[in-house]
Amino acid sequence: MDLELVKSNLLNPPILFFFLGMVAVLLKSDLQIPAPIPKLFSLYLLLAIGFKGGAELSKSGITYEVVTTMGASILIAVIVPVYLFFILKKRIGVDDAGAIAATYGSVSAVTFITATVFLKSLGIDYGGHMVCALALMESPAIIIGIALIRIYGKDEKQHSTGWAEIFREAFVSGPVLLIVGSLIIGYVSGEEGAAAIKPFTTDIFKGMLVFFLLDMGILAAQRLDDLRKAGVFLIAFSVVVPVVNALLGLAIAGTLGFSTGNAFLFVVLSSSASYIAVPAAMRLSVPKANPSLYVPMSLALTFPLNVALGLPFYFYLVRRFIS
């Protein structure tokens, strides 16, 4: 792996601000971003990346790679939570196994956004349809995780939430609706619409990402103590499974002949874990699943490792085996 690429990624301002947030917590600083503002940053990033993806998709049109990417996205979003569930349920309870499997079967929009900035710094293009892949990969794992819990769980009374509400939470939740809606608006608006709001969606994008990752660094460091509850097995799981899933994504991307940029983003999505959509759904439908396990695993370990070291490593793999 190119160590210069690792160094360049670690010295990228958004990544440095992420670590600044972690340092602030470790030094017991009072640095914080007031509660309503981080949500605005999150909404902005989803809107901007969705709109730009839609605008790019309107230029490229519906191609063979677009169709195969959508199919591959659904495939890996189904495979990952299923195989992880059967590994985990041998070591921990069914509820926690389903929640963790859903967490690692779903995706992190912020990891994806950081990866697009990484590609931009290298001058490598990617297709707008990769935003569609992000949206498609977020929800299936939630449904599968809950279904597996209901099939293998012994206490059916705790799973009283109806399937209609579960589907609504998975597919019509704020983040999913915003990114899909923004993508459609970007697609309909086309190049003219993209040019009209370019200062908003493009020029200030990296600055907003900096503030968001600063807040994420603070949150990640605050969750570090919870990792002690996870134990050695789950801590190792948080480090190893993203790499295994990345290799699975790499094999699929290579088989289907994805371009460098699209293959890299597909691998990143395959390796990432949710810390927003899945916890919200699990709190609603599987209250006995322990959030002090699956939230810190994805937020305090997998997310930092992916954005700091995973991105250059996954890019090396794509360049070595696909490009």
- The confidence score (pLDDT) of residue 147 equals 84
Q: Identify the structural domains of the chain with CATH numbers, from first to last.
A: 3-20+37-321 (1.20.1530.20)
**pLDDT over 90 at 5, yes or no:** no
Structure pTM?
0.83
> Stretch 71-79: mean pLDDT, rounded?
93
> Stretch 217-227: mean pLDDT, rounded?
83
Average confidence score pLDDT of the chain: 86
> Stretch 221-240: mean pLDDT, rounded?
87
Question: Which has more confidence, 232 or 227?
Answer: 232
Give per-residue pLDDT as tens, 167-196: 665 566 666 678 778 888 988 988 888 889
- The confidence score (pLDDT) of residue 66 equals 86
Measuring CA to CA, which residue among 250, 249, 235, 202 is closest to residue 73? 249
Percent of the chain that is helix, strand, coil (3-state, to 5): 80, 0, 20
Question: Which has more confidence, 246 or 228?
Answer: 246
**pLDDT over 80 at 311, yes or no:** yes
> Stretch 250-278: mean pLDDT, rounded?
92
Which distant-in-sequence residues (6+ apart) come within 8 Å of 147 by Cβ?
A: none
- The confidence score (pLDDT) of residue 158 equals 47
> Stretch 200-227: mean pLDDT, rounded?
85
- Annotate 28-64 with three-state secondary structure: CCCCCCCCHHHHHHHHHHHHHHHHHHHHHHHHHCCCH
> Stretch 267-271: mean pLDDT, rounded?
97
Tokens for 78?
């189904």
**pLDDT over 90 at 252, yes or no:** yes
Ramachandran angles phi, psi of 248, nearest 5°: -65, -45
> Stretch 218-231: mean pLDDT, rounded?
82
